[in-house]
Amino acid sequence: MNDLMDKVRSIYEQFDASHDFQHIERVYQNAMDILHNEPAADAEVVKIAVLLHDVSDKKYTNNKEQENQLIAELALSEDTKRHIQDCIAQVSFNGGNELEATSIEAKIVRDADRLDAIGAIGIARTFAYGGAKGRKLYDTAEQARTNMTEEEYRTKNTSSVTHFYEKLLFLKDLMTTEKGKQMANERHQFMEGFLQQLQKEIGQ
């Protein structure tokens, strides 16, 4: 596990602050917290899927070669490797076009990742990513999209605040584990408070 951690660290160090290795560390801790409530889950699968879940993130690459190579090198059965790949594939929101989380391990990894997208850290990450991509902080004339394809979700350069209304505010109700739901509530409330304060400051 330490060897894999060192390998992925070097990959994530190439990404901006919204998806760096600190993001992986936080998601890992979220997953550990959820795992305490899910004794039937395969902890090894969860841990590996967390470490690898953003290696091939479509925001940074269209190539899954690194992910596939890292999984191929694991001393695990082929069934377990496929399970890890399935967990990773089922994490992404994809503009509301997400795959179904078909196992408890996938649900844990998905919830753990989404917890890091909301609350104080979620706010920080949203603006870090927006800054890295040259996005506006907000655009009061912009309308949040309620129905879009994955391609539309990924290619339109919307403002950072619009992202809250297209994804982040939905995540609380999309949590799949009981612990994930509990952890999401406080973070969601903080995010709503931030948006209310922002609207006051920009005169909306």
The CATH number given to whatever domain includes residue 55 is 1.10.3210.50
pTM for this model (two decimals)? 0.94
Residue 90: band (very low, low, confident or very high) from pLDDT cuts 50, 70, 90: very high
Domain count for the chain, please give it.
Answer: 1
* Structural domain for 147, as ranges: 2-201
Pairwise CA distance, residues 129 & 126, whole Å = 5
Counted residue by residue, the chain has a size of 204
Alpha helices in the chain (DSSP H): 2-12, 21-35, 43-52, 65-72, 78-89, 104-115, 119-132, 150-155, 160-166, 178-201
pLDDT tens digits, 17-53 = 999 999 999 999 999 999 999 999 999 999 999 999 9
Residue 91: band (very low, low, confident or very high) from pLDDT cuts 50, 70, 90: very high
In b/e form, how buried is each residue of 137-175, taking b as 16+ CB within 10 angstroms?
A: ebeeeeeeeeebeeeebeeeebbbbbbbbbbbbebbebb
Residue 202 burial by CB count (10 A; 0-12/13-18/19+): exposed, middle or buried?
exposed
Pairwise CA distance, residues 116 & 184, whole Å = 9
Q: pLDDT value at position 147?
A: 83
